Amino acid sequence: MKRAIRVNRPVRWGVLAAMVVAGVATFLPLAQGRIKLITLPVRERVEIQLDNPDATLVEEERIVPLVKGVNQVDFSWANTQIDSNTIVFRVIGPAGGNGDKKLDVKVLSVSYPPNEAALVWSVGSSDSGSARVRISYLLGNLTKSFNYRAVASNDEKTLTLQEFMRLQNFANEEYLSGADPDGGAKLYAGYGKQFMKPIGLNETKEVLVDKFLNVPVTKTYTCNPAEFDYLDRPQNKLRVPMHYVIKNDRAGGLGGAPLPFGKVRMFIAPKDAKAAEGDATTTFLGEDWGKFTPIDDEMKLYLGLAQDIVVKRTIDKNERHKIAGNLYDQEIIVKYEIENFKEQAVTLNVAESLAYVRNELIGNTGRDVQWELGKETNFDSGPDKEKSTSDLQVFSAKLPPRAKDGKAEKIIKKLHVTLKNEW
C-alpha cells in the first residue's frame, strides 16, 4: 500500500522515471529537471539504534519501483533533525514479485538540489522492476533514558526490579511501520533483546525492557564521618545512611547485561504479600539514582537515615611517640558507642578514612598515610577485604535487638591505629 505525499510531511520519497531508451544497454545521463511522482512507498522496515548516548542511528528499508535505464530517487527532510552529512543510500537487491528477472541495480551519482533540504540519487536499473533500498542516517532529538521500579518484599530480603526505557521523540518525524501499522520501529537499546514499538510525533513513552523477580537484596547500615559527616556534631553523633544493595550477577537473577544509569523508585510490599505481585498497597520508600552497573558489580541505592541506630564517635587516645628528630608516630584510638533501637538485630558497617583521621587530629601533610592496626581494635572481625582500601578501612559490628522495655544495649567498639613516620 502507498501513501500520497503531503506537502507538510517532514520526510518524503519520490521515485522518478528518467530517460528510458529502448535497446540501449548502458545507462544514459540523468535529465536536468526534477520530476516528482505523487506516491510515497511505505517503509517496509525501520530499525533504530539507541546504544550511543550522543547519536541515534535510524535505518529504514523501502520497496522502490524502477524502470529500465536511469531513475531519480528523491529524499527530503525539511524541518526534521536528520544530519544531512550522515545520510547513506544503498540498494540491497531486487524485491520479490519481479518474476524470473534479475535486476542489475546501481547507484550512479548523488546531487543536491539548490536551496532544498534534499538529496537526489541517480539509480540505474538493467530492467523494469522493484528494488529494495536501504537508507540510514543519524537523527537528533530522539533520545532515551532509563528508570526502574523496585518493590522489596516485606522482610527486605528480595525485590522485584522492573527496568523501563523512556523514549522522547522531538525529531519532527514519526516511525510507524507501513507494512504493519501496529509493529512500528524495531528498537535496540544497545544490549538485550530488540522490540517493536511505534513512535509518534512529539511523543514520550515508556517501554518495559525487562522484569527481574526475587532478586536478592541486602539492606546495609553504614557510618563514615569522611563521607556522611555528623548528624549532631556537638554530641558526636554520626549519620547512619541506609542502602539497598543488589548485585548484577547471574546468581541473583540479573547479570545478562549492564544496568544503565537511571532513577530508581523504591517500594516495600505489605506483610503477607509477595513483591512480585505488584500490590497496589505497596509503600513508597524513596528514590535514588542508580549508577551504571557492569555485570558482577553492585548497585547501591540510598534509602535515607536510620533514626533508630545511634553511633557516638569520640577520640579515646591521641598520643605522639617520638622516633628521631622531627619524625614521630601518632597513636590513636577512635571509640564508637553504638545503640540499636530496632526490634531486630542488624549489622553496622563502620568505615574510617585514615587520611581523614590524620587530617582531623594532626593536619593535612599532603602525604599518603602509613599505618598499622593496634591490639585494642575490637570489631567482630578484621577489615572487610573487599571494601577496604589502603586508606579506607571498613569493619562490621553486630548489634542485638532492643530489649522488650525499649532499651538498647550500648555496644563499645574501638579502632586502634598508629600513623607511622609523621613529621
- 129-139 burial code (b ≥16 CB/10 A, e <16): bbbbbbbbbbb
124-128, 140-144, 339-343: which has the highest mean pLDDT? 339-343
- Give SS3 for 59: strand
Grid coordinates given for 268: 516495600
Is the model more confident about 224 or about 191?
224
> Residue 25 has what pLDDT?
34
pLDDT of residue 3: 31
| Between 185 and 321, residue with greater pLDDT | 321
- In eight-state DSSP terms, residue 271 is T
The DSSP call for residue 261 is: S
* Average pLDDT score over the chain: 85
| Residue-wise pLDDT tens digits, 211-238 | 999 999 999 999 999 999 999 999 999 9
pLDDT for 409 = 96
Residue pLDDT, tens place only, 60-108: 998 898 888 998 888 888 888 999 999 999 998 887 665 556 789 999 9
Dist CA 185 CA 104 (whole Å): 29
Neighbour count for residue 255 (Cβ, 10 Å): 15
Predicted local confidence at residue 40, as pLDDT: 52
pTM attached to this predicted model:
0.77
Q: What confidence score (pLDDT) does residue 6 get?
A: 28
Catalogue the long-range contacts made by 249-255 (C-beta closer than 8 Å, 24 or more residues apart): 249/295, 249/296, 251/216, 252/215, 252/216, 253/212, 253/213, 253/214, 253/215, 253/216, 254/161, 254/212, 254/215, 255/295, 255/296
**Residue 170 cell numbers, joined:** 522531538
Residues 270-304 pLDDT 10s: 987 654 444 568 999 999 999 999 999 999 999 99
Q: What is the per-residue pLDDT for 23?
A: 31
Partners of residue 321 on adjacent β-strands: 329
Distance between CA 59 and CA 128 in Å, rounded? 26
